[in-house]
Amino acid sequence: MVRTLGVAVVGFGWMGRVHTQAYARVPHHFPGLSLRPELVAVADEVPGRAEEAAAQYGFAAAHRDWREVAADPRVRAVSIAAPNFLHREIGLAMTEAGKHIWIEKPVGLTAEDARAVSDAVTKAGVQGTVGFNYRNAPAVAAARELIASGEIGTVTHVRIRLFSDYAAHPEGALTWRYERERGGSGVLGDLASHGVDLARFLLGEIEALTADTAIFLPRRARPTGATAGHTRATGGELGPVENEDYVNCLLRFASGARGVLEACRVSVGEQNNYGFEVHGTKGAVFWDFRRMGELGVSRSTSYQDQPVSTVYVGPGDGEYAAFQPGSANSMGYDDLKVIEAHHFLRSITENTPYGATLADAVHSAAALDAMSRSAERGAWVPLA
């Protein structure tokens, strides 16, 4: 028997649209799911944005104030895609209202914020899914299984990279993303949070780390109107960039493996260059998000001069079969969010967490806080 679930989206910038489209696509890719999302409400403080969303996607109600969503008994689950500084307040309000939440990372500004939302989810007995979408790539799922099987031996070290140019233009507007009070960290929350989640997903818990950060574009122009995404501004009053453009971090895993995590939002010439290289005592596995359906795999007993083969993922790897019938057919970014939406709805249906949870968000946020402390002190920081 198929049941409907009233859902709402709070914050209708780019990510709010991605969530909405994922809800619409879930029944097509996962027809066996007994819960179907119904778009009940959308909220955004920018004048006209919620109304535009309602007209385009069919939400029953449009609001300027997200509190009206919290008070709506028709809404049973909420996507929280608002700016970082609102995550804690909205997350707590929605869970206290008995609503399940699908919340974007980094779940607030600090580990304390993430932990507060996680505790509220547990106390309310609702489900919480977090937007760590890169772990949903079928190739990443295949890499995790390959590592766990021992095919590349004991993991010795990993390098995780997240390089992008979305903030590289000197005319990029000084939005909330660059302010400590509203954005919290910079590239730590934007990109390194994904890197930490991938590190844990693939290799297990991080025991200690040391990091260095830098701001390369220290001043930007303040925007004169509403912004969405990474807009430009010229002629406005210049203000300081308060959080980091770049981070590099050394990791020690509980397993004994070592790692390097590097992220930058101002890398000219780099567009979504995200990926990892995991090396073991018998082989290695490589993944590049821009070639999302491929893995580079080295496994043999040659050790020296051992070749690397390109492996195309297919049915049987992660949730690939829900999208394509045969290996080497392409998937895209939005598909990963459909998988995430499926995890969220399945969690609600079965009252069991699937996919990335608030506990994962707490671990990631704790690592980000440790990176900030390490960069300030110039020392290793344990993660207990």
**Structure confidence by residue, pLDDT tens digits, 164-212:** 999 999 999 998 889 999 889 999 999 999 999 999 999 999 999 999 9
Is residue 228 pLDDT above 80, yes or no?
Answer: no
Q: What is the pLDDT of residues 66-98, one digit of tens each?
A: 999 999 999 999 999 999 999 999 999 999 999
Q: Are 324 and 331 in contact (CB under 8 A)?
A: yes
Is residue 226 pLDDT above 80, yes or no?
Answer: no
Q: What is the pLDDT of residues 109-168, one digit of tens each?
A: 999 999 999 999 999 999 999 999 999 999 999 999 999 999 999 999 999 999 999 999
Q: What is the pLDDT of residues 205-217, one digit of tens each?
A: 999 999 999 999 9
Is residue 336 pLDDT above 60, yes or no?
Answer: yes
Backbone angles phi, psi at 279, to 5 degrees: -110, 140
Q: What is the pLDDT of residues 37-48, one digit of tens each?
A: 999 999 999 999
Is residue 230 pLDDT above 70, yes or no?
Answer: no
pLDDT of residue 179: 93
Map residue 252 onto helix, strand or coil: strand
Backbone angles phi, psi at 236, to 5 degrees: -80, 170
pLDDT of residue 237: 85
Average pLDDT over residues 250-260: 98
Average pLDDT over residues 215-220: 96
Q: Are 162 and 260 in contact (CB under 8 A)?
A: no
pLDDT of residue 1: 78
Going from the C-alpha of 95 to that of each of 61, 89, 113, the distances in angstroms are: 20, 10, 14
Q: What is the pLDDT of residues 4-17, one digit of tens each?
A: 999 999 999 999 99
pLDDT of residue 240: 96
Q: How remote is the C-alpha of 151 from its chain's centroid?
A: 28
What is the distance between the alpha carbons of residues 183 and 173, in angstroms, rounded to a whole number? 14
Average pLDDT over residues 316-341: 97
Amino acid identity, residue 204?
G
pLDDT of residue 227: 53
pLDDT of residue 202: 98
Q: Give 338's pLDDT tier (boundaries 50, 70, 90).
A: very high
Calculate the average pLDDT of the chain: 96
Is residue 384 pLDDT above 80, yes or no?
Answer: no
DSSP secondary structure, 45-74, as one string: SSTTHHHHHHHHH--SEEES-THHHHT-TT
- The closest alpha carbon to 190, from 162, 211, 231, 212, belongs to 162
Tokens of 29: 């890719």
